[in-house]
Chain A
Amino acid sequence: MMIFLFLWLGGYAQQKTVSGSVTDREMKTPISGVTVKSNRQTVLTGIDGKFSLEASLNETISFSYVGMKPVSVLLTGQSEIAVAMEYEAGNLNQVVVTGYSSQKKADLTGAVSVVKTQQIKDVPLGNPIKALQGRIPGVYITTDGSPAAAATVRIRGIGTLGNNNPLYVIDGIPTERGLNEINQADIESMQVLKDASSASIYGSRAANGVIIVTTKKGKAGTSKIDFNSSISSQTYLTKVSVLNAEQRGRAYWQAAVNDGPGNDPNLNQIYKYDWNGDFNNPVLNGVLYPEFIDAAKTMRPADTRWYDEISQTSFIKSNDLTLSSGTEKGNSLFSLSHYDNSGIIKGSALKRITGRANSEYRMFNDRLVIGEYLSGTYSVGTSVPAGSIVELSLLAQPVVPVHTIQGGWGGPAAGMTDRHNPVRLIEDNKQNKTRFFRIFGNAYASLKIIPELTLRTNIGIDYNGDYARTLRKSYVSGFLVDPSNQVTATQNYSGNWVLQNTLDFKKIIGDHDIQLQAGSEQIKFTAQSFFGSRQGYALENIDYAYLNAGSTTKDNGGSGSGNSLLSFFGKANYSFKNRYLASFTMRRDGSSKFGSESRYAYFPAFSLGWRLSEESFIKDLVPSVSDLKLRYGWGKNGNQSIANNAVYDLYSAIYGTDNTFNRDNGSAYDINGGNSGQLPSGFTKTQRGNSALKWETTVQSNFGLDFGFFEGKLSGSADYYIKKTTDILLTPPSLAVIGEGGDPTVNGASMNNKGFEFLVNYDGSIGEEFTFSLSANVSTYRNKITSLPQNSLTAFPGNGNDKIILGRSVSSYFGYLADGLFQNQSEVDAHAVQNGKGIGRIRYKDVNGDGIVNGADRDYIGVSDPDFIYGFNLSANYKKFDVSVFLQGVQGVQVNNSSKIYTDFSSIWPGTNWGSRVLDAWTPQNSASSIPALTLVNRNDESRFSTYFLEPGSYLRLRNVQIGYDISELSNKIHIKSARFYLQGSNLLTIKSKNYTGPDPEAPNSTFPIPAIYTIGLNITL
């Protein structure tokens, strides 16, 4: 403000004050932060897009903004200037960060997608990656509704058998932790490097693609405050339809009488039936409840709606504040954000604070630039096992009350499955918080040695840790009883430092544009963890629950690990007449994870581009073509996702391990027969090493086409790729005789991915007041395993003999073919030998025709890869209104709807609740039903994996709808630069196949449900 004032006072005669506004041509929304430059002054536009600055007549005022076409306006006397800037799509001068350097989009020869950050900035999911779902062709993002959960990101299919996560590069620093802890409002730009030629400069860990994030900096010549605030309500719309207590009783009766004489339905421990006792013509007069469902007479029969008990309409509060300022000599930015999502499952809340300080100083005529990016995150989450709570709400019987008559916990009674009361799990765990921090940042110095040569050094850190103090309370919940309590305190810390050095050379000689780069990168990871626990707490109160207060069963443990990477790389970009483009990169990577003889590997790449639109035969003959570029790229990437010490033979002094569900791996033994006390112990073999382990490599070819027509109004790109991964690191299942430690990790499998991506965008307008933009993307991939070591075949779907995964997708399903239900006895008799076959039961296909249905009749029955994924975005502006609609879909995916074990069968888990689908089960009268007849005994082994459980998971989801209204005019009266108010809805509508019997194919089975979200928000600039 002071600078403004000062400049204002310093004005002189010829000068005038020009004001105006800058809007996005596509969206018609104001653009804040546009640099507006006159000879005299540089200012930034406010959030309303408005600016005012001093300029002289006949001077050219320039407008620039990262990712947009610069605009120049000659000042001829007007005092108001309205500028519409064009967003990236058609913009070929847009600067794209491509790995240790940046390039103009026009010169790009790799497959790089630029994210329109503007479109996602108000999406309240707490993780920028989740907001990208469906927006970038070739990037398949799956997620759930949990406030704390990360998203799964697959770029161009599944490239390997181990870690398929992409590499993230935030402000130049590589990390594998994702963007959970990044404040969405801090993001200036995001790019996705999809092919090897663009990603291979990141070498070792780039085979799964690279997501580059650049955070905001203060803009030269201004200072401002941005404030965004929103509040959302979330609703659980996708509850599984389950039986109530009465229906559960009736279904049980039906199942028992279906089983025929000898199966007295009254022989169960809860329900009693008033029925005619005639198995041939059964009639149920009424379902009778006992006074208590347990022998101890503590639980009266209830009609509990478990899904309602565990869920809530919840709120998301999201606020962020950014202060930034800049001069020609430097800039700084400080931001704070607060995110509070209480979660639709009770107790799943997450609160997070992030702070950021970015600054940069320019010295010695801009020859030396020193700067830093630093962000810190602190979050508090609750350790409630949300996934199992969702599943338990399906399993818990409605007749079980939440509480006993004395106010204790209800729980399973005799005859029921031994599963916990989900409400108890929430209430007994809600005091247990996990506290997480992450510090991420880097400091850099860049020195221009001569105008063409720049040396840059960058030191980064990425450390995170968590601390949790967990009080496990004692409980009596039905027949599940644990009188002991325990406090466990855990602390984990892990992270890495990075040191990067690069030397850049740039020179234009005539028609030749040359860029050269050489660099090195060194990374060291460490991780440590420890825990302590005690039992015997006098009070079950979190304020008391410190280790010191416990009296018995003291236990503790800890571990550590580390690995390091060392790399050297070089890059050359060359362009001739802006028409013929070539790029070459080479990286030499070393990893401590590999054997000393094969630690290092080379990862070369090259790409070529031909800008046809610069050729006269296009330029002159087809003037509607504004851009046409052919691209080809080839490159090699690495992957090192194996255990840190996979090359070594190792033993551990394992005294004992938790043997509740798995065998004790320990070596202690009570050789003295004392029955307790410290025991002698030895060592357990934990690993066999393979000193010949080497890098896994991915070779990728990319064929691309970029196009723009009618001055870029219609633009887009198409890419086809072939991605071959060889020497895939896998730890094969070993022959049991080898014993503990198993077989060593080997470089074994190979895999192919081929795919196609297409993106198209159209910017249009009707009259002056109405502008719109349409964009659509679609992408697809096909995965195929091409080779595997013999001993690993059985680790994949298949029988390991004649039906093997080779030539098929790694996401194949292997099982029986369910061939409808037996309608009558003659159908049963006509069918092959199938243990337990009967009327109303599932008929399994005798695939090999040997007259017996057995394991040999399993076959490949589907693939979970989607046929294609797509997204469609519409943005429109009319006067002060702006609207955007985003639809996202997945087509052709097959989902293993394993919840059908509970929703469709009374026999597989007779002790749980069942879905209301069982009410429509097959009977001779309801013979059109596809749901097998109710029975209490699973004679036919219908839980076997078969096509009965495979369902089409295609969906089209109205992911986001937003309506905004510019209230800057109102707000100007109260000294606010600009303001905008918006309403947003997320996940409001989903179209799914009617053959998908669950509520939500995107979050099948017992994943954390995806809520519908309604948001009110405000953006303000001061």
Chain B
Amino acid sequence: MIMKRFIFLILGMVLFSLACQKALDETPQGVISGDALNTPENVEKMVISAYSGLGNDDIHTSFSLWPWGSMRSGDAYKGGDSPGDNTDWHSYELFSSNRPELANTDKMWYFLYVGISRANDALRRINQVEENVYPLKKSRQAEVRFIRGHFYFLLKILYKHVPFIDETIPEKEYGTVSNRALTNDELWDKIASDFSFGSEHLPVSQPQVGRVNKQAALAYLAKVKLYQAYVQDEKHNVTSVSSEKLGEVIALVDQVTASGKYKLNADFASNFLTQFDNSQESVFAVQYSKEDGTPKGRLNMGVALNYPMNKEFGCCGFHLPSQNLVNSFKTDASGLPQFTTFNNSDAKEGDDFKNNTFDPRLDHTVAIPGHPYKYSLNNVYQKTWARAPQIYGYFSTLKETVAPDDPSFQKIPPFMSSSKNTDILRYDDLLLWKAEALIKLNRHNEALPLINSIRERAINSTQRLKYADGTFFSTYKMDVYKPEVNCNWSPEFAWQALVWERRLEFAMEGNRFFDLVRWGNAAEYLNKYFKEESAKRAYLKEAQFKKNRDEYLPIPLAQLNYSRGVYTQNFGWQ
């Protein structure tokens, strides 16, 4: 009997010990550890992952920067259903209610650093592979650094002082890197060095059209130098302009031109139509795609809310051209912009566009009631397509959208989008950087042909703006600048012409605000705009640009808090 009990006890002990140490070893399912990614094949994949970051923006954080660069520049209203529809943007538009705690300010910051962290992750892996097993090592380093430089550039123009983290800083130390570790100028230099590495190590041509080449790096370097040339003090006042940097801009643009790879498209419209993606004018673009095996397609989501409310689209009516912008396309009797009088009367609808004369770029940029939408004659933009005209008027944006019958169009209910690329660097932009540098260097006569080449192309860009009967959507009258004929090409005049050319050429593309800040006149310009425009758009009565504050977004409150005092807020923000 005792024996029997003993057996039971043994049995019990065995049952207890069934559970051994191994029982708690669980292998992670369906994932891969970081170390497994250091083979050349996987490093190539991590480079693609870094490229992928270029297009991973969302409906609220467009990497085209329209909510910051276009909507805040006097060129565009927020749009949508009402000021309450995406209130963060409403606060941006008014400036007066912008606050460091706005979620979109933090989200954008985060998304841009996601792009940077992907680049750094890829760089660390590239760096530890030997060139003999990975012949593309140098080029890939340069490509990834270009991507990193691009994201830092966006951060720089949005937030001014941002922490600079490259692949040499271990992740554990990220929290110790201040946004003021570098001066304003040093930060520009760091960004420039990513592009100058590319300008040295990238091939002139890449086998894949989406990859960065040498010219793209040169061009971006020129852009950095141009911004850097305007020296800002702590309060964002432009205190001087560096001739040396301007000289570099000119030399760099000239190098791109010398490659012979890029020229202006014959028709301005080609820059905004998917079938001309990666055209001769596109120096670097974010590649989008559809029907590519991803759930909804790798679409241009940053502009997905910017389609009007007709049956084929239906949502959401954001990013609407301002009356001021539409008026700015008016031309005078000699076909030149009306620098001072353009806003004295409004071109609103119907015959306004027959009785005035316009720069043809108007109908490439602005959807106007009664005019065909996106060059599509059987798809005429109606007043009913406007979402909240009582607040924002009837105009709609055109450049970033596509027609509903365009093969690149993709519904992503409730939104619309397309696989149309977004240009980051376009050759017309390069030409005007060079013109800007020349004028600032008092070589304004050299700038004249550059500006005129842009205008010449615009003048010739009316083929798609014609009805079947040969009449045009609007009355176009435009000419190039002819010194002594239709203008006096003085340095002052040349500067005004440059400023106007940039506005009209790149209207609604997300640059304008950053131009104004670079030139140092954002406060004066925007407060004047608010004063005039608020008579037409009541909600702008609250708008006010605070000089020495609103030139930059505040460092997001959440980041200031997470940094535990390592980050410092921008001047003017509490």
A660 touches B171 (CB 8 A): no
Q: Which of B26-34, B240-248, B365-373, B443-451 contacts A (4 or more CB under 8 A)?
A: B26-34
Complex Cα distance, B562 from A800, in Å, reads 9
Closest beta carbon of chain A to B120's beta carbon, Å: 8
A479 touches B315 (CB 8 A): yes
A669 touches B562 (CB 8 A): no
Cβ proximity bits B355-390 to A, threshold 8 Å, 1 near / 0 not: 000000000000000000000000000101111111
Closest beta carbon of chain B to A445's beta carbon, Å: 11
| Contacts A499-B18, A676-B291; A682 near B52 (Cβ below 8 A) | yes
Complex Cα distance, B82 from A457, in Å, reads 66
Complex Cα distance, B561 from A800, in Å, reads 6
CB of B260 within 8 Å of the partner chain: no
CB of A644 within 8 Å of the partner chain: yes
Q: Which of B83-91, B189-197, B337-345, B514-522 contacts A (4 or more CB under 8 A)?
A: B83-91
Closest beta carbon of chain B to A266's beta carbon, Å: 9
For residue B111, which residues in chain A have a CB less than 8 angstroms away from its CB? 663
Cβ-defined partner of A737 (8 Å) among B23, B113, B292? B113
B538 touches A259 (CB 8 A): yes
CB of A939 within 8 Å of the partner chain: yes
| Contacts A800-B561, A835-B97; A564 near B311 (Cβ below 8 A) | no
Q: Which of A13-21, A239-247, A905-913, A999-1007 contacts B (4 or more CB under 8 A)?
A: A905-913
Cβ-defined partner of A590 (8 Å) among B24, B29, B542? B24
| Contacts A450-B5, A683-B32; A564 near B26 (Cβ below 8 A) | yes
| Contacts A481-B312, A682-B48, A733-B562; A670 near B58 (Cβ below 8 A) | no
A668 touches B81 (CB 8 A): no
Closest beta carbon of chain B to A730's beta carbon, Å: 14
Closest beta carbon of chain B to A943's beta carbon, Å: 6
Closest beta carbon of chain B to A563's beta carbon, Å: 6
Size of interface on B: residues with Cβ below 8 Å to A: 126
Complex Cα distance, B371 from A6, in Å, reads 99
CB of A666 within 8 Å of the partner chain: yes
CB of B232 within 8 Å of the partner chain: no
For residue A671, which residues in chain B have a CB less than 8 angstroms away from its CB? 48, 51, 208, 210-211, 287
A794 touches B561 (CB 8 A): yes
CB of B49 within 8 Å of the partner chain: yes
For residue A682, which residues in chain B have a CB less than 8 angstroms away from its CB? 42, 45-50, 52
A673 touches B538 (CB 8 A): no
Closest beta carbon of chain B to A291's beta carbon, Å: 14
A562 touches B26 (CB 8 A): yes
CB of A825 within 8 Å of the partner chain: no
A679 touches B293 (CB 8 A): yes
A736 touches B16 (CB 8 A): no
For residue A794, which residues in chain B have a CB less than 8 angstroms away from its CB? 557-558, 561-562
B114 touches A669 (CB 8 A): no
Q: Which of B408-416, B465-473, B487-495 contacts A (4 or more CB under 8 A)?
A: B408-416
Please provide the chain B residues from 276 to 308 with a CB less than 8 Å away from any CB of chain A in the complex: 277-278, 287-296, 298-299, 301
A738 touches B574 (CB 8 A): no
| Contacts A793-B561, A937-B539; A739 near B113 (Cβ below 8 A) | yes
CB of B9 within 8 Å of the partner chain: yes
Cβ-defined partner of A854 (8 Å) among B29, B32, B290, B574? B574
CB of A72 within 8 Å of the partner chain: no
Cβ proximity bits A933-977 to B, threshold 8 Å, 1 near / 0 not: 000111101010000000000000000000000000000000000
A855 touches B99 (CB 8 A): yes
A649 touches B33 (CB 8 A): yes
CB of B57 within 8 Å of the partner chain: yes
For residue A679, which residues in chain B have a CB less than 8 angstroms away from its CB? 289, 292-294, 298
CB of A83 within 8 Å of the partner chain: no
B386 touches A414 (CB 8 A): yes
Please provide the chain A residues from 405 to 444 with a CB less than 8 Å away from any CB of chain B in the complex: 414-418
CB of B110 within 8 Å of the partner chain: yes
| Contacts A481-B312, A560-B30; A656 near B82 (Cβ below 8 A) | no
Complex Cα distance, B210 from A733, in Å, reads 34
B412 touches A660 (CB 8 A): yes
CB of A483 within 8 Å of the partner chain: yes
CB of A566 within 8 Å of the partner chain: yes
For residue B290, which residues in chain A have a CB less than 8 angstroms away from its CB? 675-676
Q: Which residue of B lies closest to A791 (CB)?
A: B562
Q: Which residue of A lies closest to B82 (CB)?
A: A910
Q: Which residue of A lies closest to B295 (CB)?
A: A658
CB of A790 within 8 Å of the partner chain: yes
A659 touches B58 (CB 8 A): yes
A855 touches B101 (CB 8 A): yes
Q: Which residue of B lies closest to A594 (CB)?
A: B24
CB of B59 within 8 Å of the partner chain: yes
CB of A678 within 8 Å of the partner chain: yes
Complex Cα distance, B535 from A908, in Å, reads 22
Cβ-defined partner of A553 (8 Å) among B49, B58, B291, B310? B291
B45 touches A676 (CB 8 A): no
A684 touches B49 (CB 8 A): yes
| Contacts A591-B24, A737-B117; A263 near B390 (Cβ below 8 A) | yes
For residue A482, which residues in chain B have a CB less than 8 angstroms away from its CB? 411, 413-414
For residue B12, which residues in chain A have a CB less than 8 angstroms away from its CB? 455, 501, 503
For residue B19, which residues in chain A have a CB less than 8 angstroms away from its CB? 499, 520, 522, 566, 568
Complex Cα distance, B312 from A476, in Å, reads 10
Complex Cα distance, B118 from A646, in Å, reads 21
CB of A657 within 8 Å of the partner chain: yes
Cβ proximity bits A562-580 to B, threshold 8 Å, 1 near / 0 not: 1111101000000000000
For residue A564, which residues in chain B have a CB less than 8 angstroms away from its CB? 23-24, 26
CB of A71 within 8 Å of the partner chain: no
Closest beta carbon of chain B to A929's beta carbon, Å: 21
Please provide the chain B residues from 461 to 492 with a CB less than 8 Å away from any CB of chain A in the complex: none
For residue B382, which residues in chain A have a CB less than 8 angstroms away from its CB? 295
For residue A669, which residues in chain B have a CB less than 8 angstroms away from its CB? 48-49, 51-52, 54-55, 210, 287, 298
Cβ proximity bits A732-755 to B, threshold 8 Å, 1 near / 0 not: 011111111000000000000000
| Contacts A790-B564, A941-B97; A599 near B24 (Cβ below 8 A) | yes
A937 touches B28 (CB 8 A): no
Closest beta carbon of chain A to B311's beta carbon, Å: 6
A652 touches B30 (CB 8 A): yes
B564 touches A791 (CB 8 A): yes
CB of B264 within 8 Å of the partner chain: no
Closest beta carbon of chain A to B115's beta carbon, Å: 8
Q: Which residue of A lies closest to B4 (CB)?
A: A449
Cβ proximity bits A655-695 to B, threshold 8 Å, 1 near / 0 not: 11111111111111111111111111111111010000000
Cβ proximity bits B388-425 to A, threshold 8 Å, 1 near / 0 not: 11110000000000000000100111110001010000
B32 touches A651 (CB 8 A): yes
Cβ proximity bits B134-176 to A, threshold 8 Å, 1 near / 0 not: 0000000000000000000000000000010100000100110
Q: Which residue of A lies closest to B544 (CB)?
A: A835
Q: Which residue of A lies closest to B305 (CB)?
A: A418
For residue A644, which residues in chain B have a CB less than 8 angstroms away from its CB? 26, 28
A-B CB proximity, top 6 nearest: A739-B117, A656-B294, A682-B49, A800-B561, A682-B45, A667-B49
Other A-B pairs beyond A294-B384, A738-B174, A943-B87, 15, CB < 8 Å: A518-B16, A566-B23, A568-B19, A592-B25, A656-B298, A663-B61, A663-B111, A683-B32, A733-B558, A737-B177, A739-B116, A740-B117, A791-B562, A791-B564, A907-B84
Sampled A-B contacts (21; CB under 8 Å): A267-B390, A268-B390, A559-B29, A566-B24, A648-B28, A649-B34, A651-B34, A660-B415, A663-B58, A666-B56, A667-B49, A668-B293, A670-B289, A676-B291, A682-B47, A682-B50, A738-B117, A740-B118, A790-B564, A794-B557, A836-B542
| B residues lining the A interface (CB < 8 Å) | 5, 8-9, 11-12, 15-16, 18-19, 23-26, 28-34, 37, 42, 45-52, 54-59, 61, 81-85, 87, 91, 94, 96-97, 99-101, 106, 109-111, 113-114, 116-118, 120-121, 163, 165, 171, 174-175, 177, 208-211, 274, 277-278, 287-296, 298-299, 301, 309-312, 314-316, 382, 384-391, 408, 411-415, 419, 421, 535, 538-539, 541-542, 556-564, 574
